[in-house]
Chain A
Amino acid sequence: MKKSVVKALIGAGVVATSMLVLAGCTTKSATNKGNTAGDTVKIGVNMELSGAVAGYGEQEKQGVELAIKQINANGGVKVGKDKKKLKAVYRDNKSSTGGAAAVAAQLANNEKVVAIVGPATTNNGTASIPNVTKAAVPMVGPSATDPNFTLQKNGKVQPYVFRACFTDTFQGQKAAIFANDTLKAKNVAIIADNSTDYGTGLTKAFKKKFAGKVAVTEYYQSGDKDFNAMLTNIKNKKIDAIYTPGYYSELGLLIKQARQSGIKVPIIGADGMADPKLAQIAGNENATDVYYTTPFSTLGTNRSSLVKTFMANYQKQYKAEAPTFSALAYDSVYMIKQAIEDQKSADSASIAKGLAKIKNMPGVTGTTSIDSKHNPEKPIAVEQLTQGKITKAYTVK
């Protein structure tokens, strides 16, 4: 009995592998015209649903689900004169570059999707580029923040690659300006996640722009839980702020341990911190004097009716506060919808053209225009946490 199960599993594995191989073959023979839409507009979702960064993938999948549900509830997307429903095809890339490339080929060639949302991370996104480019299917990375993600090696823009989030350079510089001008910090410590491009990219941009002195730079890896040693180290240095480029799962712990060891200085991070889980992990009593740059401010004054509806619907569907990753994925779907409606066509090549021309599209992460490098231009905010609650939002010029 046990053996037969094992055999069945092995069999399934063999079939899956050969399918991947076949998918790889079709990529080569695909013509360059791209995919056309049928009665429904199929959107592929190439997402990290298992593996190391599945936490972000799951949240983005929820954002996509919510967007598709809402668009369909309103009758669908307008293609020329008709209204067509959207349909999402979800595929797990297992948080691996190989998986992401295979999923991209599958979605573009077998599923014939007209656009792809995802992957969540820059590395997996970059691995998907050759296959989507060959198939002429545009791809919107909700959270691929590396500045070079949308660019080819020679500096030209990738014709089929777009993103919905800020680049690391932009966000890191804004955090430095905020630390200089608003917090008046002279000496900062940086504690960075050096196992992601996100952490190292932000660190580089921050260091370049910050006018004061970076007294000490410490590094950790994604998944680390103990920061006491580095915190004991920086405690004795005279610093007025800590910059922490990384994600909430580690930074929640870092904030908790910093406050418990008596480090009271402001802690500034990036949008990887913009998640209600940050304060839950840190403990509300510790999440005070914490700031982060974010495109998506949930605070009253910055909240448009669009954001309100999104927050309410998300709460209803998933019984939780909407995280930034969901908001970015939600906007990625709306960017594709906007492109289809502007171009009056749901063919993949037209969508790519439409995405490049998006101007002033209202989104939950801010009014978005796509620039010549396929990066979104939208206002950036800095949110402040006090006792685990967002109490103030600053705008940074």
Chain B
Amino acid sequence: MQTMMQQMINGLSLGSIYALLALGYTMVYGIIKLINFAHGDIYMLGAFWGYYAINYLHFGFVGALLSAMVMASLSGVLIEYLAYRPLRNSPRIAALITAIGVSFFLENGMSFLFGANARNFPQVITTKTYYFFGVGISNVQLLILFTSLVLMVLLQFIIKQTTMGKAMRAVAVDPQAAQLVGINPDHVISFTFALGSALAGAAGVMIGLYYNSIDPLMGMVPGIKAFVAAVVGGIGSVPGAAVGGFLIGLLETGVQAIGLSAYKDAAVYLVLILMLVVLPAGLFGKRQREKV
């Protein structure tokens, strides 16, 4: 029982990171139907910014987190402006391949500039482990869970309650119609990239603090797993991405808990395949009716 509770905690803290990343995937997809494969690398940029902000600008955790969110937003907007906007009216496959190209560019560009070695993240918060009925949870794990939940609620508020959020939803439904009623889709798309990238930047700093190791390729695998989470939740759906993230985290932990650690990644990708075959719209996705 204790072990099971402990595994739940492990799964939830892993899942909250996937959830934060999956939100970025899903928002961008919802609006411009592009799977932004460079999203995992923005998470890496956020982690590196946190590293420099703490080491050289002597920021605290909150300062590093907020500034990393700002820097990640800026890089997200810049990537959209330089790489995806010129391809807005091209076939979707061209934008998809560009996204993969941007991802390689960021990974290898950062390896070139800062070296490919893993580096230790400055520990601005000393890890303490609290025990409840024999189940350990560290202050950093609590912080990750708490920050993730706050950011997700904030995101939901922005999308549902603000004018910009309304514009985002409008563009997602029909960009041309939105334009007709006076919404500038370019602004809305930039805003979406900024929002999604800010979440990735926050995830980067939190992961840096939690695992104490960052490197230019750190975004690759979590990026793909977050993509799976977004698909499981229903790509395009914001609550779906959050739930999908936690589910993937719990699944990965569960597979290891029953002693099949060698197959934990395989299990995640198996779920991707099964979802695409059985329920392509995902748990929370809208089923699209084809008009004939």
Contacts and interface: CB of A to CB of B under 8 A. Distances in A.
Question: Do A and B make up one complex?
Answer: yes
Interface of A: 2, 50-52, 54-55, 57-59, 194, 216, 218-221, 223-226, 228-230, 232-233, 235-236, 248-249, 252-253, 256, 260-262, 277, 280-283
A58 B11 contact: no
Given A54-B111, A229-B11, A280-B120, A256 B212 contact: yes
B41 interface: no
Contacts, number: 106
Contact of A223 (B117, B119, B129, B221): B221
B80 interface: no
A118 to B, nearest CB: 15
A258 B129 CA distance: 12
B253 A223 contact: no
Contact-residue bracket for chain B: 35 or more
Contacts of B119: 277, 280
B133 interface: no
Contacts of B264: 229
Contact of B256 (A54, A230, A280): A230
Interface stretch (B2-10, B49-57, B235-243): B2-10
Nearest to A229: B256
Contacts of B112: 50
Given A218-B262, A233-B261, A260-B138, 14 more contacts: A2-B86, A54-B111, A55-B116, A55-B118, A59-B117, A218-B256, A224-B221, A229-B10, A229-B264, A248-B118, A253-B212, A256-B212, A262-B129, A277-B119
Contact of A229 (B129, B207, B252): B252
Contacts of A194: 262
Interface in B101-157: 108, 111-112, 115-120, 123, 127, 129, 136, 138
A54 B213 contact: no
A232 B221 contact: no
B259 A216 contact: yes
B259 A52 contact: no
A249 B118 contact: yes
Per CB-CB distance, the 4 closest pairs between chain A and chain B, nearest first, are: A54-B116, A229-B256, A219-B262, A228-B10
Interface in B168-193: none
B217 interface: yes
Nearest to A226: B14
B213 A232 contact: no
Contacts of A281: 118, 120, 212-213
B117 A229 contact: no
Nearest to B82: A2
B120 A277 contact: yes
Given A225-B207, A226-B10, A58 B115 contact: yes
Which DSSP category, helix, strand, loop or mixed, fits chain A's interface? helix
Contacts of B10: 226, 228-229, 232
A205 to B, nearest CB: 19
B269 interface: no
B114 to A, nearest CB: 11
Contact of B217 (A221, A223, A260): A223
A283 B212 contact: yes
A223 B225 CA distance: 13
Contact of A283 (B108, B123, B221, B256): B123
Contacts of B127: 260
Interface string B249-267: 0001100110101101100
Contacts of B138: 260
A55 B117 contact: yes
B3 A232 contact: yes
A59 B117 CA distance: 9
A249 B213 contact: yes
Given A58-B115, A220-B261, A225 B213 contact: yes
B165 to A, nearest CB: 32
Nearest to B265: A221
B90 to A, nearest CB: 13
A232 B86 contact: no
A233 B2 CA distance: 11
A340 to B, nearest CB: 32
Contacts of B252: 226, 229
A222 to B, nearest CB: 10
A14 to B, nearest CB: 16
A278 B22 CA distance: 31
B220 interface: yes
12 contacts: A223-B218, A224-B221, A225-B207, A225-B211, A225-B218, A229-B10, A230-B261, A232-B257, A235-B3, A249-B118, A253-B213, A283-B212
A280 B117 CA distance: 13
Given A58-B115, A226-B211, A253-B211, A52 B217 contact: yes
A395 to B, nearest CB: 30
Contacts of B108: 50-51
A288 B217 CA distance: 28
Given A52-B217, A260-B127, A277 B117 contact: yes
Contacts of A55: 115-118, 215
A248 B82 CA distance: 37
A223 B213 CA distance: 11
Contacts of A283: 123, 212
A50 B108 CA distance: 7
